[in-house]
Each structure stands twice: as structure tokens, then as C-alpha cells.
């Protein structure tokens, strides 16, 4: 399964767990280490954990894949699941504003935006 199709599966997993502010960035023209960034917010520590759990589980069930690694922890406000060509960032709203990846990668094409 290609990374764009996986991203759409993971967007559904995020929506199921009530994640918000979902953005899918196509970074293929700006980076060699990945094709897409999928960003979303969780409102609290429990939701951040639930989002990463759901993302991992749905990738396993529907795409028969697991992340190469998961970094960060819910208490820090930022967790990352690395699927190779797709990197998923799960943020608290405060950390999302602080890291401001959309601005850092402002030349990337926005494939999807959902509030």
C-alpha cells in the first residue's frame, strides 16, 4: 500500500478518536526522508495516547504494516509514528503552535485540511 492510501486510512482512525486540526502535507519536493507528514491534535494526554494507539492498530489491520518507530510520549505533548514515507505527528494544541510544522514546511502542498 502506498503512503497516500495509508494516510487516508490513518485520517479515518484519527477522526474515530476525535482528533482535530488534521493536515496532510506532501513534502516530496522538499525532503528525501519522507513523502508526507500527517499532523493532528489531541486535547489531553489520554487522547494523545488513544490517537497513537488507534493509528498503529488501524495501520496493522487495514494496511498490514506497523510504524518503524514511535517516539515521544503523551506527557510531552508530541508523539510521532514513523511509517517510512509517511510520518504522523500527534500534538497537543500548545506543542502544535510551538513547533509550527506547517510554517516550517510552508512550501509543501496541503493535500488535506480538516478542523
Spell 16-35 as b/e; 16+ CB within 10 A means b: ebebebbbbbbbeeeeeebb
Q: What is the pLDDT of residue 34?
A: 97
pLDDT tens-digit series, residues 18-72? 999 999 999 999 999 999 999 999 999 999 999 999 999 999 999 999 999 999 9
Pick the CATH number of 3-114 from 2.60.110.10, 3.30.460.10, 3.30.479.10, 3.20.20.10: 3.30.460.10
Confidence of residue 1 (pLDDT cuts 50, 70, 90): confident
pLDDT tens-digit series, residues 84-93? 999 999 999 9
- 3-state SS assignment for residue 114: strand
Q: What is the pLDDT of residue 115?
A: 85
For 104, the enclosing helix (H) or strand (E) is helix 101-104
Strands (E), the chain: 20-26, 36-41, 69-73, 78-82, 86-91, 109-114
Instruction: Please give the model's pTM, rounded to 2 decimal places.
Output: 0.95
For 93, the enclosing helix (H) or strand (E) is helix 93-99
Q: Report, in this order, helix, strand and coil percent for the chain, each rounded to 5.
A: 40, 30, 30
Amino acid at each position: 500500500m502506498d503512503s497516500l492510501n495509508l494516510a487516508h486510512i490513518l485520517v479515518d482512525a484519527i477522526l474515530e478518536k476525535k482528533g482535530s486540526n488534521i493536515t496532510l502535507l506532501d513534502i516530496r519536493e522538499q525532503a528525501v526522508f519522507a513523502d508526507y507528514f500527517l499532523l493532528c491534535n489531541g486535547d489531553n494526554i489520554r487522547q494523545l495516547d488513544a490517537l497513537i494507539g488507534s493509528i498503529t492498530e488501524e495501520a496493522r489491520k487495514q494496511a498490514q504494516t506497523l510504524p518503524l518507530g514511535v517516539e515521544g510520549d503523551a506527557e510531552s505533548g508530541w508523539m510521532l509514528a514513523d511509517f517510512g514515507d509517511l510520518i504522523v505527528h500527534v500534538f497537543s494544541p500548545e506543542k502544535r503552535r510551538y513547533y509550527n510544522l506547517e510554517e516550517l514546511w510552508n512550501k509543501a502542498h496541503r493535500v488535506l485540511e480538516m478542523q
